[in-house]
């Protein structure tokens, strides 16, 4: 099935030496650390990036103009981005992409990884790119984008306009384990995998892509407390526990609540089932497909288990992460 008017092609990831000259010049002025997937991570505005990610951050800061009707899905990597993309896309496009006949498998999610349906701001070229035209890839009046950008680095218009921000966070230990697996998949073969200990040490120091993890979460948490109509703050584990409640919450936040008729025909449950890990992970596109960047779709569907960290972390590691959570979130009333 073709949905060319809606999908888009994510770009290929650049190697460190392939980024623009402007970016190289700036990178040479930034603090850097070795580790994770590429030779270096660079610190910009207090957060860490691979070189090509940094180029994307600069571009979207420079060119992205948020509109009042836009919706931005935001996360620290591995906190539930793929799931949130699937849910948000399905909710806001439910009139044009009905899920009532899902046995016919007509919905775009049957043929597209969620990352193909919702573009990531910092992975896009922002120059003459049709995906930034209003409603170019979606039938909804809202443009739907995702980003891993920390609050401090969001383009100004995203903060100043009335566009809505949905933030999803996840248990620190599960996020770390998910990230460790994912980054090892991204690492070139000749580098071999990062050891758990090596990755853990960097993560705890805050040195991980779009990290420090704690600062990322905390900044959006604070913003959600100050501006609850602007920022909806979600937790992965709570969504797993009661996905239907959160699907309704999302629809209300987007300004497209479910009608009594929709509720009566169980649209909420159908969306939950369509976007569930169990359903998406078994689809051919997500088992065998790849993003144009070369990343295999199946790497976004590792297991989705709450508490998987128990299979990996030593008691000392658990203690250290608990202590860091306590220190970093003290006084915020946020618990992860």
Binding interface with ligand PAP (CB under 6 A) = 75, 77-83, 86, 174, 178, 181-182, 275-277, 280, 300-304, 308
| Min CB(237)–ligand PAP separation in Å | 10
* Paired residues of 164 in beta bridges: 71
CB of 199 to ligand PAP, least distance (A): 14
Nearer to ligand PAP, 156 or 290 (CB): 290
What are 113's two structure tokens? 């990884």
What SS3 state is found at 47? Answer: strand
Torsion sign over Cα 280, 284, 285, 288: positive
* CA 34, chain centre distance (Å): 24
Strands 164-169 and 71-75 come out as: parallel
Q: Is 216 a catalytic residue?
A: no
Nearer to ligand PAP, 170 or 328 (CB): 170
Which residues, in sequence order, are CB contacts of 169 under 8 Å at separation 6+?
75, 76, 79, 217, 220, 221, 233, 234, 235, 236, 336
CA angle 134, 76, 194 (to 5 degrees): 130
Element (H, E) at 17: none
166, β-bridge pairs: 73, 232
Beta-bridged to residue 42, according to DSSP, are 32, 49
Contact between residue 81 and residue 166 where contact means Cβ atoms under 8 Å apart: no
Burial label, 130 (beta-carbon count in 10 A; 0-12, 13-18, 19+)? exposed
Residue among 97, 120, 148, 216 flagged as catalytic: 148
Could you give the 3-state DSSP secondary structure of residue 145? strand
Question: In the complex, what is the shortest distance from the CB of residue 77 to ligand PAP, in angstroms, rounded to a whole number?
Answer: 4
Nearest distance from C-beta of residue 149 to ligand PAP, angstroms = 12
> Least CB distance from residue 301 to ligand PAP, whole Å?
5
CB closer to ligand PAP out of 76 and 138: 76
**Residue placing its CB nearer to ligand PAP in the complex, 102 or 161:** 102
Question: For residue 245, how many other CB atoms are within 10 A of its CB?
Answer: 13
- Nearest residue (CB) to ligand PAP, 79 versus 321: 79
**160 vs 306, beta carbon nearer ligand PAP:** 306
Minimum separation from the CB atom of position 239 to ligand PAP (A): 8
Active site residues: 148
């Amino acid at each position: 099935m073709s949905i060319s008017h809606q999908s888009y092609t994510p770009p290929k990831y650049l190697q460190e030496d392939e980024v623009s000259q402007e970016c190289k010049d700036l990178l040479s002025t930034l603090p850097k650390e070795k580790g994770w997937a590429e030779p270096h991570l660079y610190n910009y505005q207090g957060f860490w990036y691979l070189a090509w990610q940094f180029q994307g951050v600069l571009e979207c800061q420079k060119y992205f103009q948020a509109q009042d009707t836009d919706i931005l899905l935001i996360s620290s990597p591995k906190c539930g981005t793929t799931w949130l993309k699937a849910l948000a896309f399905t909710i806001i496009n439910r009139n044009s992409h009905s899920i009532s006949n899902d046995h016919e498998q007509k919905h775009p999610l049957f043929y597209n990884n969620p990352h193909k349906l919702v573009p990531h701001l910092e992975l896009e070229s922002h120059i003459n790119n049709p995906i930034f035209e209003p409603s170019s890839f979606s039938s909804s009046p809202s443009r739907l984008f995702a980003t891993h950008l920390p609050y401090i680095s969001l383009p100004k218009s995203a903060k100043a306009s009335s566009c809505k921000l949905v933030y999803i966070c996840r248990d620190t230990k599960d996020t770390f384990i998910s990230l460790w697996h994912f980054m090892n998949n991204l690492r070139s073969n000749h580098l071999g995998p990062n050891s758990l200990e090596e990755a853990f040490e960097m993560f705890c120091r805050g040195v991980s892509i779009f990290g420090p993890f704690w600062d990322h979460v905390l900044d959006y948490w604070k913003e959600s407390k100050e501006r609850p109509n602007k920022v909806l703050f979600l937790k992965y584990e709570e969504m797993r526990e009661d996905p239907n409640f959160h699907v309704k919450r999302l629809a209300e936040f987007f300004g497209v609540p479910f009608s009594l008729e929709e509720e009566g025909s169980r649209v909420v449950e159908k969306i939950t089932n369509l976007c569930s890990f169990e359903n998406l992970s078994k689809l051919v596109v997500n088992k065998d497909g790849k993003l144009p960047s070369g990343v295999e779709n199946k790497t976004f569907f590792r297991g989705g288990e709450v508490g998987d960290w128990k299979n990996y972390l030593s008691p000392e590691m658990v203690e250290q992460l608990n202590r860091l959570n306590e220190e970093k979130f003290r006084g915020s009333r946020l618990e992860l």
